[in-house]
Structure 1
């Protein structure tokens, strides 16, 4: 890296969940890149495709209406799914 390139970069410390560092290392190795280059490539891809990559099937629930939205969704479930959900909550 040239001195000029070094002055144009920013450092940011990232804490990975357990095991993710190894996944990044494997992906970087498969792509023949450094771990840093792999992370940057994936971030650029994600940001370049934002927000098109977000699911658009559901509208966001406005803050304060979560209970109403949950009740509406619950009522749309089949009886067996309602019972399964209630069992999970017990």
Structure 2
């Protein structure tokens, strides 16, 4: 019976850890940007307090909404002229 309880607790702990990991935002710092990761053309097209920045990912380059001040390794400046 002890082994069954240990296995059950291990499954519950792994499930909770997976929920915590999946609920974090890749581009989140303070949570002021309400649309992180959404494609954008300017800061006006993002929801909340966001920066429209360039991001290099495995598919190439895209411009997405990010938390202000986030400077990850794949983030590049994006200057729009609209």
- Measured against the shorter chain, the TM-score band is under 0.3
The structure carrying a bigger helix percent of its residues is: 1
TM-score, normalising length: structure 2: 0.25
User: Whose relative contact order is higher, 1 or 2, with alpha carbons under 8 Å and at least 6 apart?
Assistant: 2
Rg larger for: 1
